[in-house]
């Protein structure tokens, strides 16, 4: 089946969808994105992703080319047209095509680019990786200083993922000034003596929508949550570690730089949080 994608108001077969070579997203990474997961054919935390999209656009003085209602409709139509049961909807907004290359922003009436497509991932909720856990390496965080804005500048995370692959691992945790910021495409956590420890929100990390939900569920389940800095050495001594994102939900981490975390198997806190997250977010899915 040919995938149906959305470009600037049109639903098209993927091979017919085009964007200009002058698009600011292509030339300058002048664009923001969101990834919303789909379970049971329904969108997980759409409102959270929409709110963050509005924030990212605002921080970059970029207009919002759409509305909550219209965007929800496009998400649902793509999920329907592509028969997505489990997977993701990717959304990207750029400052559009000014017809040439120029560092200055284009005139305000320049049409923006809005692109959405689906990714089918059967078995996402039941992923084998969640049963075995993933291995991470640590790398220096080479990204810019506004990681709270979900821009499409993903070269540093992409290089990090490749470094992990070359090292026989699954992902990388990025480190700045001796402290873990986050994973290449997820938020990072350790668990020590029952406390869930994760870096607090600032411009240094993406404000994960899954993170917000998981911390809320953890507090509701009377688990202790501590938002503070932590190091790779502390992570190696932790009882458990895990990451969260829209594409992995809660994913146990079982080794860091080759050192086993705790028993070297997914821990009870990560397992429980994954169960709660999947159950609660599927109940609230739209």
Which residues belong to the active site?
150
Residues that bind ligand PDD (CB under 6 A): 35, 182, 185-187, 206, 208-211, 244-247
Q: Name beta bridge partners: 114.
A: 93
What is the distance between the alpha carbons of residues 248 and 269, in angstroms, rounded to a whole number?
Answer: 16
Tell me whether residue 101 or residue 146 sits nearer to ligand PDD (CB atom).
146
- Closest approach, Cβ 235 to ligand PDD, in A, equals 16
Strand order of the sheet with strand 113-120?
Answer: 10-13, 4-7, 113-120, 87-94, 31-39, 42-43
What is the distance between the alpha carbons of residues 251 and 211, in angstroms, rounded to a whole number?
Answer: 12
- Output the six-digit token pair for 244: 């969260």
- Closest approach, Cβ 31 to ligand PDD, in A, equals 13
- Closest approach, Cβ 182 to ligand PDD, in A, equals 5
- Closest approach, Cβ 138 to ligand PDD, in A, equals 15
The contacts of residue 286 (CB under 8 Å, 6+ apart) are 42, 43, 46, 72
- DSSP per position, 52-72: HHHHHHHHTT----S-HHHHH
């Amino acid at each position: 089946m040919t995938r149906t994608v959305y470009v600037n108001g049109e639903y098209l077969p993927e091979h017919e969808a085009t964007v200009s070579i002058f698009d600011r997203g292509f030339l300058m990474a002048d664009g923001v994105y969101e990834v919303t997961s789909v379970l049971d054919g329904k969108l997980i935390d759409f409102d959270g992703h929409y709110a963050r999209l509005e924030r990212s656009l605002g921080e970059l003085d970029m207009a919002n080319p759409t509305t909550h209602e219209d965007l929800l409709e496009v998400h649902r139509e793509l999920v329907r047209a592509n028969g997505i049961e489990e997977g993701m909807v990717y959304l990207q907004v750029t400052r559009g095509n000014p017809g040439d290359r120029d560092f200055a922003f284009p005139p305000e009436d320049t049409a923006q680019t809005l692109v959405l497509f689906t990714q089918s991932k059967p078995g996402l909720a039941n992923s084998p990786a969640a049963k075995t856990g993933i291995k991470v390496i640590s790398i220096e965080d080479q990204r810019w200083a506004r990681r709270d804005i979900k821009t499409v500048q993903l070269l540093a995370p992409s290089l990090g993922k490749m470094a992990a692959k070359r090292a026989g691992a699954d992902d990388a945790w990025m480190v700045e000034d001796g402290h873990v910021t986050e994973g290449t495409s997820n938020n990072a956590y350790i668990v020590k003596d029952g406390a869930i420890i994760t870096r607090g929100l600032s411009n240094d990390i993406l404000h994960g929508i899954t993170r917000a939900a998981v911390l809320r569920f953890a507090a509701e389940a009377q688990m202790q949550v501590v938002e503070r800095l932590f190091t790779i050495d502390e992570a190696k001594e932790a009882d458990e570690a895990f990451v969260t994102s829209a594409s992995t939900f809660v994913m146990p981490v079982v080794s860091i730089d080759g050192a086993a975390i705790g028993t070297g198997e997914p821990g009870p806190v990560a397992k429980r949080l994954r169960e709660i997250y999947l159950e609660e977010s599927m109940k609230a899915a739209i």
